[in-house]
């Protein structure tokens, strides 16, 4: 199921693509990109589009989520257009998760039902010039298909979300605040801390439902 954001709780099939252009300190999927900690040749498997589609639709989901890593790094490869086209032909909704550093191509915009854009705050560790790309974020916002989800640990982070979204012209109703954490305890502890600040700022709030159920288990 989709554990985060506007589609929280919906049954979904997931396609996880390798590679990322950021290095978030708290990344919960470092095995998709961190060659210093993981053997990426063992972690990442070349898979045909036909097999991806067959596997992701196995449970008859109405929603498919393409995630990573940073999936939009792949959007200029021929397999990307074919994947979107075959998912559209199958009649499923498609959500693309992205860190918001890359503008979507017309093919991506046409093939995606929603972008779950997760720009990174100061606590993620990368320099601002790398993690916040105004042109890409405004391009995603301009599609009319973007929800902006910010990983937060403290009320101060929520204040940073308010400053960043105000600067970029992203309305509060398009923003989701989500606690950082890979255990149910961490997520539950942070939610009430973030909730008051999120509500006061006019933002939406989301938990990480899969973490409540399965913790940090992979392929969940
Ligand atoms: S953008 Fe996402 S996948 Fe990339 S390092 Fe940050 S949390 Fe991990």
Q: Confirm whether 220 is domain-assigned.
A: no
Beta bridge pairs of residue 97:
116
Element (H, E) at 95: strand 93-98
pLDDT at 220: 78
Q: Confirm whether 164 is domain-assigned.
A: yes
Number of domains in the chain: 1
Report the residue among 18, 24, 119 best suited for mutation to probe ligand 1: largest number of ligand atoms under 8 A from its CB: 24
pTM (two decimals): 0.96
Q: Confirm whether 219 is domain-assigned.
A: no
Report the residue among 16, 25, 27 best suited for mutation to probe ligand 1: largest number of ligand atoms under 8 A from its CB: 27
Q: Looking at ligand 1, which residue's alpha carbon is closest to its atom 7?
A: 27
pLDDT per position as a tens digit, 202-219: 999 999 999 998 998 887
pLDDT at 77: 94
The alpha carbon of 54 and the centre of ligand 1 are apart by a number of angstroms equal to 27
CB atoms within 10 A of CB 46: 6
- What would the 3-class secondary structure string for 61-77 be? CCEEEEECCCHHHHCCC
Q: At what angle do helices 49-56 and 78-89 cross, to 10 degrees?
A: 40
Alpha-carbon distance of 61 to 32, in angstroms, equals 24
Q: Confirm whether 28 is domain-assigned.
A: yes
pLDDT mean values, one per 10 residues, the chain (220 residues): 96 97 96 96 96 96 97 96 98 98 98 98 97 97 98 97 97 97 95 96 96 87
Provide the domain limits for residue 68: 5-214
Rg of the chain taking only CA atoms, in angstroms: 17
pLDDT per position as a tens digit, 66-86: 999 999 999 999 999 999 999
pLDDT at 216: 87
CATH number of the domain enclosing 182: 3.20.20.70
């Amino acid at each position: 199921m989709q554990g985060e954001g506007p589609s929280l709780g919906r049954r979904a099939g997931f396609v996880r693509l390798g590679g990322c252009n950021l290095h978030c300190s708290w990344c919960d999927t470092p095995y998709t990109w961190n060659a210093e900690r993981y053997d990426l040749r063992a972690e990442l498997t070349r898979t045909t589009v036909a097999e991806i589609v067959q596997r992701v639709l196995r449970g008859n989901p109405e929603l498919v989520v393409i995630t990573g890593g940073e999936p939009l790094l792949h959007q200029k490869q021929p397999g990307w257009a074919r994947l979107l086209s075959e998912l559209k032909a199958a009649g499923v909704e498609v959500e693309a998760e992205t860190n918001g550093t890359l503008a979507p191509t017309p093919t991506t915009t046409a093939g995606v039902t929603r972008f779950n854009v997760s720009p990174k705050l100061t606590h993620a560790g990368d320099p601002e010039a790398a993690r916040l790309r105004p042109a890409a974020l405004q391009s995603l916002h301009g599609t009319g298909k973007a929800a902006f989800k910010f990983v937060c640990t403290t009320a101060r982070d929520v204040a940073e979300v308010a400053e960043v979204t105000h600067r970029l012209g992203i309305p509060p109703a398009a923003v989701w605040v989500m606690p950082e954490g890979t255990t149910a305890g961490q997520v539950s502890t942070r939610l009430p801390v973030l909730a008051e600040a999120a509500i006061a700022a006019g933002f939406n709030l989301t938990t990480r439902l899969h973490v409540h159920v399965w913790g940090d288990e992979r392929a969940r």
